[in-house]
């Protein structure tokens, strides 16, 4: 094809540019689809409960990811500050994953259990009341807005379409019992989503307001689950070197 | 329009042009790339190939090129507690392990840690060298894990998170007690007396509590409050002790000093306001709202030991 022909025909040029650029992407990405060896085999990683699903949605809605990453990299300083580096297996049910690289605030990948629920409520409502130097915005409405959980089952169905094992049929439920145990499998049953959400909110009362399910409830439930699923004391420190 | 090919015929000593001409006379030289630049370019290609070979790189089939570089590291097996030396192929994870125990400044840290691990709390506190180590490492650990609640200097937030610098302790300020606080976490609990005592009784007992720290003078009301405090009606002495100096095993506060962890008495100006904050507090009590997380499992045993000593010296304590 003549050079001049391409240069003077912008439609054709756009198509050819797209073709050339996508080669780079495809060569890098497609082979990875066929590699399972990089995903560590660990116990304990489960999909989010219905309440955590809603909490995660709020995390996205409020743009927390703009300042917080959820990926601890395998560097010495990060290991000392945050704990064990993140595993691929830990975000296998996370769609889209929240790894990120923007750290205006600290990484949150191992946040669960670090603080009390009360601290989170206070900190989200008014960060400077507990950390005077903080530049994190206030999120007071989380505590005053009732959580809309009417569509939580639909949201779980959407995640199921991306491969998260929330169950619809009896066979799927039983497969989950085998894989995750009864307690977790019950939480993954889409037909029970709303009841499970309300039960978790009532039992754990993350927002500290009895008898009410606020957006804060869901967000704190999600935050308290981060990075807690794998029990690293079971594994030697070099257990995961072979996956890279 | 001039003929674009006109200049293409090279005269001696002149650089060739690309042969195009725009706007009549605008032309472009066709200089060859400088030789040094070309060699650098070829150099990057060679570097790229060597890099692929040495480090993990391309996906191939269901696996990937693993590279040929290796890394040595030592880890302690969690089951047998034996240190084992390993060599593994280079990747960021094995590199981390070697960084963790082989970085030069880590050697010093390792010997200090071994000393601290072997020493008793008393020995650590008496040894200036170990204390220097505790202070430098403890400061970082405290900042990463504790400062969000207790404040960057350990000063706390009245009513929410105790001040760790005042040498007044709910759960005890001996290194062993602080260590226990860190390992298992703490949960302050005091019953809500709003439903147990009548409003007048609450007033009386609040007045009595204030006399304990000389905030109020003994009065008829405080005498009635004293009976409630030390009798079966209030039963306050059960947790706070007959001398009201607190009982560390209960996490109950010392009520006889000027230091207040929860009821914000010192910032109130009038006796009336002081009484009001004490009364409000006793009415509501503490249930599931003041939680100190457990750090066992989250931090390793060495870090917890270091922190216990660090917090102990923050309070300047015995």
pLDDT tens-digit map of A111-151: 999 999 999 999 999 999 999 999 999 999 999 999 999 99
pLDDT, one tens digit per residue, over B179-197 is 999 999 999 999 999 999 9
Work out how many CB contacts closer than 8 A connect A with B. 94
Residues of B in contact with A123 (CB under 8 A): 148
pLDDT, one tens digit per residue, over B56-65 is 888 887 888 8
Residues of A in contact with B300 (CB under 8 A): none
Interface probe with A: pick from B82, B141, B148, most Cβ of A within 10 Å: B148
User: Which whole number is the average pLDDT over B280-292?
Assistant: 92
Domains of chain B, first to last? 144-312 (1.10.760.10)
pLDDT, one tens digit per residue, over A62-84 is 999 999 999 999 999 999 899 99
CB atoms within 10 A of CB A48: 21
Interface probe with A: pick from B94, B184, B302, most Cβ of A within 10 Å: B94
**How confident is the model at residue B7, as a pLDDT?**
47
State the pTM of this model: 0.88
- The 8 Å CB, 24+ separation contacts for A44-47 are A44/A229, A44/A230, A44/A231, A45/A89, A45/A90, A45/A92, A45/A93, A45/A229, A45/A230, A46/A93, A46/A180, A46/A184, A46/A187, A46/A188, A46/A229, A47/A93, A47/A159, A47/A164, A47/A165, A47/A166, A47/A188
User: Which whole number is the average pLDDT over B38-56?
Assistant: 94
Judge: B293–A233 Cβ closer than 8 Å, yes or no: no
**How confident is the model at residue A37, as a pLDDT?**
81
Interface probe with A: pick from B83, B97, B146, most Cβ of A within 10 Å: B97
In chain B, what percentage of residues exceed pLDDT 70?
94
**How confident is the model at residue B84, as a pLDDT?**
87
Distance from CA of B212 to the nearest CA of A (A): 30
A128 touches chain B (CB under 8 A): no
A125 touches chain B (CB under 8 A): no
Of A36, A83, A114, the CB nearest to B293: A114
Task: Report ipTM (2 d.p.).
Answer: 0.85
Average pLDDT for chain B = 89
Partners of B187 in the β-ladder: B291
**How confident is the model at residue B232, as a pLDDT?**
92
pLDDT, one tens digit per residue, over A143-188 is 999 999 999 999 999 999 999 999 999 999 999 999 999 999 999 9
Helix spans in B30-185 (H): 35-54, 92-102, 104-118, 121-126, 128-145, 147-150, 175-184
Confidence of residue B285 (pLDDT cuts 50, 70, 90): very high
């Amino acid at each position: 094809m003549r050079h001049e022909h391409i240069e003077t025909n912008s439609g054709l040029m756009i198509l050819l540019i797209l073709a050339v650029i996508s080669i780079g992407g495809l060569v890098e990405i497609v082979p990875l689809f066929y590699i399972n060896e990089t995903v560590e085999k660990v116990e304990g990683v489960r999909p989010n409960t219905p309440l955590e699903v809603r909490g995660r949605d709020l995390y996205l809605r409020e743009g927390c990811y703009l300042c917080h990453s959820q990926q601890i990299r395998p560097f010495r300083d990060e290991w000392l500050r945050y704990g064990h580096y993140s595993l691929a297996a830990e975000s296998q049910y996370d769609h889209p994953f929240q790894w990120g690289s923007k750290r205006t605030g600290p990484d949150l990948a191992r946040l669960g259990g670090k603080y009390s629920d009360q601290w989170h409520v206070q900190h989200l409502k008014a960060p400077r009341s507990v950390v005077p130097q903080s530049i994190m915005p206030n999120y007071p409405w989380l505590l005053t807005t009732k959580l809309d959980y009417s569509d939580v089952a639909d949201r779980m169905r959407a995640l199921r379409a991306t491969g998260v094992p929330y169950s619809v049929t009896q066979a799927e439920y039983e497969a989950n019992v085998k894989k995750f145990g009864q307690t977790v499998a019950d939480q993954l049953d889409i037909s029970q989503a709303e009841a499970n959400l309300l039960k978790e909110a009532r039992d754990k009362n993350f927002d500290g307001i009895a008898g009410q399910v606020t957006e804060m409830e869901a967000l704190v439930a999600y935050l308290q689950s981060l990075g807690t699923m794998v029990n690293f004391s079971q594994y030697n420190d070099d257990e995961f070197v072979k996956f890279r | 329009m001039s003929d674009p090919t006109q200049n293409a015929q090279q005269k001696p000593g002149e650089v060739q042009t690309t042969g195009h001409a725009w706007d009549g006379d605008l032309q472009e030289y066709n200089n060859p790339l400088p030789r040094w630049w070309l060699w650098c370019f070829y150099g990057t290609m060679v570097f790229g190939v060597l890099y692929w070979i040495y480090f993990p790189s391309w996906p191939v089939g269901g696996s990937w090129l693993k590279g040929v570089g290796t890394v040595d590291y030592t880890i302690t097996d969690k089951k047998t507690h034996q240190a084992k030396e390993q060599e593994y192929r280079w990747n960021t994870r094995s590199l981390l392990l070697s960084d963790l125990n082989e970085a030069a400044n880590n050697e010093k840290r390792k010997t200090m840690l071994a000393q601290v691990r072997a020493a008793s709390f008393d020995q650590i506190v008496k040894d200036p060298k170990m204390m220097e180590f505790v202070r430098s490492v403890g400061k970082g650990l405290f900042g990463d894990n504790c400062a969000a609640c207790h404040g960057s200097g350990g000063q706390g937030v009245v009513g929410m998170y105790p001040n760790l610098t005042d040498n007044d302790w709910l759960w005890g300020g001996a290194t062993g007690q602080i260590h226990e606080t860190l390992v298992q976490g703490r949960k302050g609990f005091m019953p809500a007396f709003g439903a147990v005592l009548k409003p007048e009784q609450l007033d009386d007992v609040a007045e009595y509590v204030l006399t304990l720290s000389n905030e109020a003078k003994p009065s008829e009301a405080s005498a009635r409050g004293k009976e409630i405090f030390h009798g079966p009606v209030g039963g306050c002495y059960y947790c706070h002790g007959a001398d009201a100096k607190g009982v560390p095993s209960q996490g109950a506060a010392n009520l006889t000093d000027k230091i207040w962890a929860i009821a914000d008495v010192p910032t109130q100006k009038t006796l009336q306001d002081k009484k009001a904050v004490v009364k409000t507090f006793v009415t509501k009590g503490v249930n599931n709202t003041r939680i100190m997380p457990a750090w066992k499992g989250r931090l390793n045993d060495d870090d917890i030991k270091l922190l216990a000593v660090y917090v102990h010296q923050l309070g300047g304590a015995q």
